Amino acid sequence: MQTESDSFELIVILALVAVFILFQLRRTLGKKTGYDPSRDQKENPYHPDPAPEGKREQDKKQDNIVRIRPDQTAPDVAVNLGLDKSSPFYAVVEKIYTFDHSFNLRSFFDGAEYAYGLILKAFWDQDRKTLRSMLSRQVFDQFDSVITDMKNRKLHSENKLMDVEKIDLLNVSLTGSLAEITVEFTSHMIMVTRDETGKIVEGDDKKPARIRDIWTFCRDVKRADPNWTLVATRTG
């Protein structure tokens, strides 16, 4: 005869068996099997999920658009050459720019003003070395002749550049890659020439004179050297 204790043990055993069976079913049914489109998309990125209907319509419209290369749509960048397009010299300056993209007339004027002061000072100081590096052979010979003449006459200058009032563009030319630019400097200077005793023989050491000099600078704009050479001078 089955006792109450035996019945309790049988119930416990059956409960354990039921729990084991449910655990096994959960392990089996809980696994994801079959086709998984998201997994397939990760494994094969060339076959993404079908797009929604609205997206497919939008794509069809996009297919009818003819795409233009970026360089065809980008506007031309305006180049500031330092002078107005109405200038009679604009076309020549523009050609110079095709050889040297760093060229700008405003920058040239800044450099020309600096060279103007440097060359005059070297001339007044009889600094032939500096003059030789900045002048053409012909212009150097002219300056050197004046220096020699003053030395022979025992004269010396005490000139001083006070300011450059303005610089005007007179002409621009381009022959092959050889560019020439002629400018007029309007300046104020103290102009004094003294003899060997220190006496003033020409000029005024108190009153500045208004001077107009016309200089022509030359440069091969195909060369990397950015320096211009003074090739002609005259008084305005």
Please check whether residues 108 and 48 belong to one and the same domain. no
Domain boundary residue, one of 24, 43, 74: 74
Compute the C-alpha angle 193/199/202, nearest 5°.
Answer: 35
- Domain of residue 176: give its range: 90-235
CA atoms within 13 A on the CB side of 118: 15
Please check whether residues 129 and 228 belong to one and the same domain. yes
Span 210-230, mean pLDDT? 97
Please check whether residues 198 and 99 belong to one and the same domain. yes
Please check whether residues 172 and 118 belong to one and the same domain. yes
* Phi, psi (degrees; rounded to nearest 5) at 217: -110, 145
Name, in order, each residue with C-beta under 8 angstroms of 37's C-beta and a sequence gap of 6 or more: 49
Please check whether residues 44 and 107 belong to one and the same domain. no
Confidence at residue 65, expressed as pLDDT on a 0 to 100 scale: 47
196 domain-assigned: yes
Q: What's 210's domain CATH number?
A: 3.10.450.240
Q: What is the pLDDT of residues 3-15, one digit of tens each?
A: 555 555 656 566 5
Please check whether residues 31 and 139 belong to one and the same domain. no
* Phi, psi (degrees; rounded to nearest 5) at 97: -65, -30
85 domain-assigned: no
Number of domains in the chain: 2
Tokens of 121: 């000072």
Domain boundary residue, one of 74, 100, 129: 74
Please check whether residues 189 and 138 belong to one and the same domain. yes
* Phi, psi (degrees; rounded to nearest 5) at 205: -85, 0
Please check whether residues 140 and 31 belong to one and the same domain. no
83 domain-assigned: no
Please check whether residues 116 and 68 belong to one and the same domain. no
SS3 (DSSP) at 71: helix
* Phi, psi (degrees; rounded to nearest 5) at 104: -150, 135
Q: What is the pLDDT of residues 32-71, one digit of tens each?
A: 444 444 554 444 444 455 555 555 555 555 555 444 444 5
Q: Rg of the chain over CA atoms, in angstroms?
A: 45
Cβ burial, residue 181 (10 Å; 0-12/13-18/19+)? buried
141 domain-assigned: yes
Q: What is the pLDDT of residues 186-204, one digit of tens each?
A: 999 999 999 999 999 999 9
The whole-angstrom separation of Cα 236 and Cα 215 is 10
223 domain-assigned: yes
Please check whether residues 142 and 66 belong to one and the same domain. no
Domain boundary residue, one of 50, 74, 98: 74
Please check whether residues 124 and 44 belong to one and the same domain. no
| CA-based nearest residue to 120, from 20, 236, 3, 230 | 230
Please check whether residues 136 and 205 belong to one and the same domain. yes
Compute the C-alpha angle 47/53/58, nearest 5°.
Answer: 90
79 domain-assigned: no
Q: Residue 147: pLDDT above 70? A: yes
82 domain-assigned: no
80 domain-assigned: no
Cβ burial, residue 216 (10 Å; 0-12/13-18/19+)? buried
Compute the C-alpha angle 230/232/116, nearest 5°.
Answer: 45
Tokens of 214: 């016309």
